[in-house]
Chains A and B, each alone.
Chain A
Amino acid sequence: MSPLSTLTPLTLKKPSPARNRLRGGARYAPTLATVGLFIAMFAVGAGMYPSFLSGQVFLNLFIDNTFLIVLAVGMTFVILTGGIDLSVGAVVALSMMVSATLLQQGWNPGAVIVLVLLIGGGLGLLMGLIIQYFDIQPFIVTLAGMFLARGLCYVISLDSIPVNEAFFTGMAQAQIPLPGDLFVSPGVLLALGIVAAAFFVLHHTRFGRTVYAIGGNEHSAMLMGLPVKATKILVYALSGLCSAIAGILFSFYSLSGYSLAAQGMELDAIAAVVIGGTLLTGGTGYVLGSVVGVLVLGIVQTFIAYDGTLSSWWTKIVIGGLLLVFILLQRLFARKAR
């Protein structure tokens, strides 16, 4: 017996080192493309409107999107494992409703924040458990979670509830001065702190690397003896917790609770993560990319605000277009890498 397959195949070439480098680089390519896009948009803005080119315009992108940054962080974890979390927008609204109602009843703001974080994290944990132990697609479980959270908002109140509590209004108005007449809000520091923590967790802890491993090949991760179950559950709990934090940041920003708030924000978060270069199939992406993704969404809105004549719905159209372009780009990179 001399099967032909044991002869040295002439046509199967091993990848050359140069090609290796190209493929390695392809990992960063989508994220770098997003960074490039952001810089280009900023430059175009500066060319069209002289006042665009200012540090404060740049910082405002953060100030106006703190909650979306935090949501995108949680969503990055989920998408890296190959999952999805559709509940985040509704959990943001629920967090706002709970805090507005309780603050109106005179609760201590610290206690309110702790309770909201517990609710958000708990909801996420519950969804994670259901996804893992009943082996149901994350899409459908978090869709149910979305309806549940949104429904609870309506149960609490149909009307908008103002927030007059001192700590919250203080946070809303606080400005942290930076050199050069610039300032940021405390929320920005919190959001960036969360981004930094997420970066550390993803790249410097076993939990973070397990997240990537699951996204790369869940079955392999299981066979390698990694704690796949616990990690997948934790990722949804983390996303729920991020949603609750985002809800509190949104409360600082809007000083109200309204059951219709943050409609479709889960989709903005997903869009930011994908535009930031994370593959929806999981395993590839960076939390910093997601932040740049949020900034890109923010700059589109800034553009429309500067223009003044365009309907704000153009934001959605542009985001839709960008999303499409980025998904096509990713596919292209994925093909090249193969």
Chain B
Amino acid sequence: MNEIVPVVEMTDIAIGFPGVKALDGVDFRLFQGEVHALMGENGAGKSTLIKALTGVYTIDSGTITVLGEPKRFSTPGESQAAGISTVYQEVNLCPNLTVEENVLLGREPRRRGSIDWKGVRSRTRAVLAELQLDHIDPGSLLSTHSIAIQQLIAIARSVEINAKVLILDEPTSSLDADEVNQLFRVIRDLRDRGVAILFVSHFLEQVYEISDRMTVLRNGKLVGEYLTRDLSRMSLISKMIGKDMEALAELDQAPARTRASNGAGVTPFIEAQGLGRKGSVSDVDLSIYPGEVVGLAGLLGAGRTEIARLFFGADKADEGTIKLKGASQKIRSPRTAIDKRIGFCSEDRKEEGLIGDLTVRDNLVLAMQASKGWARRIPRRVQDQLVAEYIEALDIRPANPDALIRNLSGGNQQKVLLARWLVTHPELLILDEPTRGIDIGAKTQIQKLVNQLAADGMSILFISSELEEVLRVSDRIAVIKDRAMVAEINNDGVSVEDVMTVIAGGAQ
């Protein structure tokens, strides 16, 4: 890399929140015409660094220079005015407006005080054509487009602004392969035109495919800056988690646990027969025995979550039966399910009811208190002990019971959520994408925990988009395709390819 002036240079940046030191003395440089990946585990400080650069957070100390000029951003508008544009994971555009308006909002061409709508249309067409996205109708409502297209429209907005820096925060997490390719084509195109691109993603392969350089963060501190081609995947991961390969080795080990017998004489905890719901899923025949992990495999949108919701009573089944411990039982609502000791960790952390303004301790105690009844107060000593136990067991970071939930990273919020269900000691725990968006270290921990819980006799329904993970933790795998259960496979030496064949062909 020739040593020209970086477009963005951040030096010795520090940002703190009550109870958490999010960034501590971090340096970061971004050059023209490169794709730079920001790497780190959840909670390493990636999001915070981006928000410091985009003016959402104000830095406590350190300097930011853009093209050699020192800047201090306190609103997103100021950062944008300096040529920095961001596309967030949860596309930040207005769904109620048209594509062209979203591209030009706040910068519409005007003639005598009135917006020149013809100009808006032609400028939008021009920028869409530039990105080879001419198939998008500028006059259509944003909400009629898929997330992938919306993201591309957000990028079009940045191009229209003539952004010198484009930040892409987890842009691929809800895209399929074709969409990722389209996105990458646009990214490379922009890079070749001299735009500096900051790319954040959990998908290692994508990072290696698209990035030129990377900066690695760990626990709010800088680990280093590397050329992508000089850094192997293994050394990158070890830099991210700050340990040697032990954790990774564990990750690759096949589960050695002896499987629970589900032979004659043992009653399954839950037994569904012909379970279905109009417009949702159908033909679910699935039993889960005590101490067994059953994995649901299938494509995104195949109906995995829908099955979980039927089991938990979040949706009412209109066909088929459910037996709990051999007795027929209708699960009409989540309340019934919880009474019958079924827990459901949904894929949506934010909506799940973690209370962001309360501390880790309060969130855990809430669940404990609810399960004990409101009349019996839990003594502080017991609280402390239990909270400390779960923080240690799940390695919740920071290990501070008084840290506010909203200041925790996504992966650590997920752990608190899990802990909240665990304190109520469910007999069946449904985990929907428990490892999505969390780093490898936390992933291993959660997978180990799942096996341990099963070994203690809990039944677990495990849902994940990553087939390897499903294979690693499950005793049996139910394959879901096109909103129906199409096969059940015993996990004895099954490979990812085998499962894929079933999904592709629908045959046994």
Contacts and interface: CB of A to CB of B under 8 A. Distances in A.
A217 B95 contact: yes
Nearest to A223: B92
B258 interface: no
Contact of B177 (A8, A14, A203): A8
B176 interface: yes
B301 A24 contact: no
A283 B180 contact: no
Nearest to A3: B466
Nearest to B179: A8
B93 A15 contact: no
Interface string B462-482: 000111100000000000011
A20 B76 CA distance: 32
B427 interface: no
Interface string B126-143: 000000000001001101
Interface in A14-50: 14-15, 19-20, 23-24, 27
A2 B496 contact: yes
A284 interface: yes
A222 interface: yes
B302 A7 contact: no
A147 B215 CA distance: 57
A19 B97 CA distance: 17
A217 B93 contact: yes
B78 to A, nearest CB: 8
A335 interface: no
B279 interface: no
Interface in A178-236: 200, 203-206, 209-210, 212-213, 215-217, 219-227
A217 B465 contact: no
B203 A6 contact: yes
Contacts of B80: 224-225
Given A24-B140, A220-B93, A4 B466 contact: yes
B97 A213 contact: yes
Nearest to B204: A1
A10 interface: yes
B113 interface: yes
Contacts of A23: 141, 143-144
A12 B303 CA distance: 11
A337 B143 contact: yes
A2 B273 CA distance: 32
Given A7-B177, A12-B300, A209-B115, A226 B105 contact: yes
A11 interface: yes
Contact of B95 (A4, A6, A216): A216
A9 interface: yes
A205 B112 CA distance: 10
B81 interface: yes
B106 A226 contact: yes
A58 B282 CA distance: 57
Contact of A6 (B75, B137, B177): B177
Contacts of B482: 10-11
Contact of B88 (A12, A204, A223, A283): A223
Nearest to A12: B301
A207 B35 CA distance: 36
A70 B101 CA distance: 28
A20 B98 CA distance: 12
Interface residues of B, number: 56
B301 A9 contact: yes
Given A1-B468, A3-B466, A4-B467, A205 B86 contact: no
Contact of A200 (B97, B114, B205): B114
Contacts of B76: 222-225
Contacts of B77: 225-227
Contacts of B101: 209, 213
B108 interface: yes
A5 interface: yes
Contacts of B177: 6-8
Contacts of A9: 176, 299-302
B361 interface: no
What DSSP secondary structure best describes chain B's contact surface?
A: loop
Contacts of A220: 92-94
B492 interface: no
B114 A217 contact: no
B483 interface: yes
Contact of A12 (B145, B176, B467): B176
B115 A206 contact: yes
A215 B96 contact: yes
Interface string A297-338: 000000000000000000000000000000000000000010
Looking at B77, B86, B108, B303, the one whose CB has the most chain A CB atoms below 10 A away is B77
B459 to A, nearest CB: 23
B396 to A, nearest CB: 25
Nearest to B104: A209
B483 A11 contact: yes
B146 interface: yes
Given A2-B496, A24-B144, A223-B88, A7 B299 contact: yes
B119 to A, nearest CB: 12
A217 B88 CA distance: 14
B453 to A, nearest CB: 23
B139 to A, nearest CB: 8
Interface in A83-131: none
A142 to B, nearest CB: 24
B26 interface: no
Interface in A264-287: 283-284
A149 B110 CA distance: 39
Contacts of A217: 92-96
B97 A212 contact: yes
Given A4-B297, A10-B299, A220-B94, A24 B106 contact: no
A221 B144 contact: no
A23 B139 CA distance: 12
B178 interface: yes
A118 to B, nearest CB: 24
B111 to A, nearest CB: 10
A242 to B, nearest CB: 21
Nearest to A229: B75
Given A4-B299, A4-B465, A4-B466, A205 B113 contact: yes
A15 B136 CA distance: 12
Interface in B320-369: none
Contacts of A224: 76, 80, 92-93, 105-106, 157
A212 B297 contact: no
B343 to A, nearest CB: 24
Given A10-B299, A11-B483, A283 B96 contact: yes
Interface of B: 54, 56, 75-77, 80-81, 86, 88, 92-97, 101, 105-106, 108, 110, 113-115, 117, 137, 140-141, 143-146, 157, 174-178, 180, 203-205, 297-303, 465-468, 481-483, 496
Q: 4 shortest A-B CB distances, which residue pairs?
A: A216-B94, A216-B96, A225-B77, A283-B96
21 contacts: A2-B467, A3-B467, A4-B300, A5-B176, A5-B299, A6-B176, A8-B176, A9-B300, A12-B146, A24-B140, A205-B114, A205-B115, A206-B108, A209-B97, A217-B93, A223-B54, A223-B88, A224-B76, A224-B80, A224-B157, A225-B77
Given A19-B144, A337-B143, 4 more contacts: A5-B300, A7-B299, A12-B301, A225-B106
Interface of A: 1-12, 14-15, 19-20, 23-24, 27, 200, 203-206, 209-210, 212-213, 215-217, 219-227, 283-284, 337
